[in-house]
């Protein structure tokens, strides 16, 4: 099977294309996209400003980006979301809508918990805030899983491109509200870098929770997909085994992290002495701990099947068959190249993005300036880039625009070096943000099309969750150390490093484009 990523798509009638944007399911994805995009910046962007104003150290602030690692591991529980019914909600709303509403309820609960925790009060509050942020990341990632499945199942191929476009637009608007909107609100309620106010951030996060009513109302109004209505649910025994498998494997993964902390600290010191680089040492050790944790989880899964607590068919059906299908379709060599590209394509953007708000703060930009330029203006440029990326992909093929996006993403990171040397310069900030977000929009449009082409419709939810999890895993692990890296080498060298990280991505696309199956 080949995926035609080079050739252009059949040209569409412009009148019919514009009319299709008024289709109810296309419009619904705009509001569901808003609901999905809202929590993200409340973990990354706005939370970092909150912590900085509360006097939390920069390196600790960037560690909070790990709270969103749920996005990178959502493939672990995607099969549960895909197969398990929820009491009351599934019978009342259906399989997809029931899970969407459940996830949205968890998002609202997480935001309310965060709103009531002052990180400046004491260490305990900071820890609880971190746990609430992890809960937000987990519930938001769950919402993403179900909305992706709903989008694919609720309409035919002819509407998928438009539904994806409106979903991404809504997602970006949700990010704008959570990014620029939250910063405006916190400033309006009286919190500044010079005078921190917990009350301001408390009100801000409560209002963000209230904004989730947009997604909740949409979930209650939209119909359940026909394919979901006719699909049978797992029997009780299969559901129970799936839950047991998930709990034991995740527990093993978490306990591996907990009990390897002392060994990891010693190993980190050893690597740091060898490399004289604290950030690099931390990244290497975390990757090793991640590998060991995944190995332990997999070993537990095998033991559960050997002891017959879980049927081997349950393990295969939930996790192994979607993976086996991917490698069988593309072969070991091509599959590894494709997965490497998926895992690294956004590394330049994500690693830089984790420290971007800290950078703006250190350069002397106010919250309002960051909200106006980096968030509002940046959103407009991203949407323009997405529109251009879609048109260019139709004209020249996905793979070529994927390559263009990779080159632009790496190149625009070099502009941040110039901004770091200039210091506070509002004109240059507009130029850098404009170029960076335009290139990100082009790259994102091509990348979503690329991931969709890789997915087998038989395993859509699981495979799409694997791809999107892998897409952010390595960048987010490395991004957690971006604050430490800045402390070690400074902003100028850090931005150069992020640009260099994009070079392997360009090489991978060139290697993949040589395979005739992708032409």
Gap between the Cα atoms of 373 and 467, Å rounded: 31
**pLDDT tens profile 112-122:** 999 999 998 88
**pLDDT tens profile 272-294:** 888 776 666 776 787 788 788 88
The pLDDT score that the predictor gives to residue 465 is 82
Helix axes 482-500, 347-362, angle to 10 degrees: 130
The pLDDT score that the predictor gives to residue 220 is 96
Report residue 231's pLDDT band, with 50, 70 and 90 as the boundaries.
low
Q: Is 305 exposed, middle or buried (0-12, 13-18, 19+ CB in 10 A)?
A: middle
Average pLDDT on 103-107 reads: 97
**pLDDT tens profile 212-226:** 999 999 999 999 987
Q: What is the pTM of this model?
A: 0.74
**pLDDT tens profile 176-225:** 899 888 988 999 998 887 889 999 999 999 999 999 999 999 999 999 98
CB 401 within 8 Å of CB 457: no
**CB count in 10 Å sphere of residue 78:** 29
Gap between the Cα atoms of 119 and 434, Å rounded: 33
Residue 410 has pLDDT above 80, yes or no: yes
Domain architecture of the chain: domains with CATH? 20-230 (1.20.1250.20), 234-310 (no CATH), 329-519 (1.20.1250.20)
Nearest to 178 by CA among 379, 403, 434, 461: 379
């Amino acid at each position: 099977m080949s995926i035609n990523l080079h050739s252009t798509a059949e040209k569409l009638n412009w009148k019919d294309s514009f009319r299709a944007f008024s289709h109810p399911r296309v419009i619904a994805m705009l509001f569901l996209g808003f609901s999905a995009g809202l929590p993200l910046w409340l973990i990354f962007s706005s939370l970092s400003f909150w912590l900085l104003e509360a006097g939390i150290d920069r390196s600790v602030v960037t560690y909070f980006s790990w709270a969103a690692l749920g996005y990178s591991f959502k493939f672990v529980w995607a099969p549960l979301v895909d197969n398990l019914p929820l009491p009351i909600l599934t019978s009342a709303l259906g399989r997809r809508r029931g899970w969407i509403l459940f996830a949205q309820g968890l998002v609202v609960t997480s935001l309310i918990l965060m709103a009531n925790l002052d990180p400046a009060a004491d260490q305990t509050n900071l820890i609880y805030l971190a746990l609430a942020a992890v809960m937000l990341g987990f519930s938001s990632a769950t919402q993403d899983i179900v909305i992706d499945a709903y989008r694919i199942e609720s309409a035919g191929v002819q509407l998928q491109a438009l539904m994806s476009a409106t979903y991404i637009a809504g997602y970006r608007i949700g990010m704008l509200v959570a990014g620029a909107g939250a910063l405006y609100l916190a400033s309006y309620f009286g919190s500044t870098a010079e005078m921190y106010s917990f009350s301001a951030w408390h009100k801000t996060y409560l209002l963000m929770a209230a904004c989730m009513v947009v997604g909740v109302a949409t979930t209650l109004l939209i119909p359940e997909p026909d394919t979901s209505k006719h699909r049978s649910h797992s029997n009780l025994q299969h559901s129970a085994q799936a839950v047991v498998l998930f709990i034991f494997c995740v527990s093993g993964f978490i306990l591996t992290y907990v009990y390897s902390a002392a060994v990891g600290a010693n190993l980190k010191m050893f690597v740091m002495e060898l490399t004289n680089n604290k950030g690099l040492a931390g990244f290497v050790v975390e990757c090793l701990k991640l590998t060991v944790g995944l190995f332990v989880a997999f070993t537990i899964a095998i033991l559960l099947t050997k002891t017959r607590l879980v049927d081997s068919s349950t393990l295969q059906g939930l996790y192994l068959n979607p993976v086996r299908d991917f490698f069988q379709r593309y072969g070991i060599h091509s599959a590894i190249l494709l997965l490497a590209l998926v895992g690294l394509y956004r590394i330049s953007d994500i690693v830089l993005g984790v420290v971007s708000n800290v950078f703006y703060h250190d350069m002397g930009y106010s919250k309002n300036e960051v909200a106006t330029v980096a968030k509002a203006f940046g959103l407009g440029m991203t949407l323009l880039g997405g529109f251009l990326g879609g048109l260019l992909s139709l004209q020249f093929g996905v793979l070529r625009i994927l390559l263009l996006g990779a080159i632009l993403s790496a190149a625009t990171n070099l502009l941040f070096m110039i901004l770091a040397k200039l210091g506070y310069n509002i004109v240059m900030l507009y130029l850098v943000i404009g170029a960076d977000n335009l290139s990100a929009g082009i790259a994102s449009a091509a990348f979503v099309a690329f991931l969709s082409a890789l997915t087998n419709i038989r395993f859509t939810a699981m495979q799409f969750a694997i791809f999107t999890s892998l897409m952010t895993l390595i960048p987010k692990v490395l991004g957690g150390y971006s604050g430490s890296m800045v402390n070690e080498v400074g902003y100028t060298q850090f931005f150069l490093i992020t640009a260099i990280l994009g070079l392997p991505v360009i090489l991978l696309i060139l290697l993949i484009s040589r395979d005739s199956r992708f032409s």
